[in-house]
Amino acid sequence: MTVLGACAVWPLVTAAMHGGRPEGVLLAVLALAAGYAAGRITGVLLPVAAPCAGALAGLVLTVTVRLGPGPEIAPHLGHAGATAAVLTLSAGAACCAAWATPVPAQRLALWLLAVGVTAAAALLDSTTGVVTCCAVLWCALTAGRVRHRGPALAASAVTAALVTGLTWAVAGNALPGKLADPLTDRLTPHRVDLWRDALGMVRRQGVLGVGPGRFGELSTTAAQSTLSDGKPHSAPLQTAAEQGVVGLLLLSAVFCWVLFALWRSQRPTPVVLTTGATLTALTAIAAIGNALSFTTVSVGAGLLAGLATARPLAEEPAPPGAPSTSGRDPRRGDRPAA
């Protein structure tokens, strides 16, 4: 709550200094907190049904409602980042439910649901969604063989840092030409120009940023294009440009805190690692897209994190074929000693 409180206060500070509209950031923080609280509650009462319902809700939402009503400025990356993000969260929730149930028939149905979510991403022509859903499925299937959750969660943190660093390297033109040119073509030059505008704002206003919601006003690329929605399509770069380095550190602190909470969670290790992989995939989508601009994504991320960190009323049985998941023996590395 301290980290989320700081994430809510800092945009107000930057808005007071440079102007801007902090309402969007405040709504995202509120949505994340509400989703997390709902996940903690439903994870205790309905450890299998709650993630299953969340997966179905996300799938129905993306199929029936277009989450990205804005223009397509990056067709090579599929539809709006929100579509890929919600499908990824749905696949992760289905996998978590599969690991949580002791009934083989239910587990098979939930694995098939996760596969169905991946197929839906392909039908919706969301290339990013297909890639991230497949990655989540692979991580979930291998999570049952992992006995120590600490190194796996550390790998999630490193992966998120590498993806974020890659976006900064592209924006700063720090990659060699043989690597930069294919990436620029894949991401589209328009998006890369938006990233470079954001990086320029960071260099000019590194501490406080230019103010929340002001990127579209100050970006030359956004002003010259009728296809732009006024966002740089990169959560780390947008946060750093509008809220400065302090805002970026707070955003990183939220992700690191979630990984720490997963490490200490009493839920089965496969559920924890599947959630960690899903949220890492979400950070990758957010680093190259506009996923976090949608309240649905923030609620879904908080809900999944809450489900994976809920304290069960009774000790859950270990899924067949998985290591012991009681999480109370420090020698196994599942969680620290009390």
pLDDT by residue (tens digit) across 98-129?
A: 999 999 999 999 999 999 999 999 998 888 89
Residue 71: predicted pLDDT: 41
Both tokens of 40, joined, read: 């903690």
Backbone φ, ψ for residue 212 (5° rounding): -65, 135
Q: What is the mean pLDDT of residues 25-41?
A: 95
Cα gap 223→168, rounded to integer Å: 22
Q: Give me the residue spans of the domains in the chain.
A: 2-55+147-314
Residue 180: predicted pLDDT: 85
- Sign of the dihedral through C-alpha 304, 308, 310, 316: positive
The interaxial angle of helices 235-264 and 295-309, nearest 10 deg, is 20
pTM over 0.85: yes
CB 27 within 8 A of CB 295: yes
Radius of gyration of the CA atoms of the chain, in A? 20
Tell me the one-letter amino acid at 108. Answer: L
| 125: CB partners within 8 A, 6+ apart | 78, 79
Cα first-last separation, the chain: 22
CB 294 within 8 A of CB 251: no
pLDDT, tens digit, 9 for 90 and up, residues 262-292 = 999 999 999 999 999 999 999 999 999 888 8
Backbone φ, ψ for residue 91 (5° rounding): -60, -45
- Using the structure block, give the residue that is written with the tokens 């808005």: 15
Residue 129's H or E segment, with its range, is helix 127-143
pLDDT, tens digit, 9 for 90 and up, residues 132-173 = 999 999 999 999 888 899 999 999 999 999 999 999 999 998
Cα gap 330→302, rounded to integer Å: 27
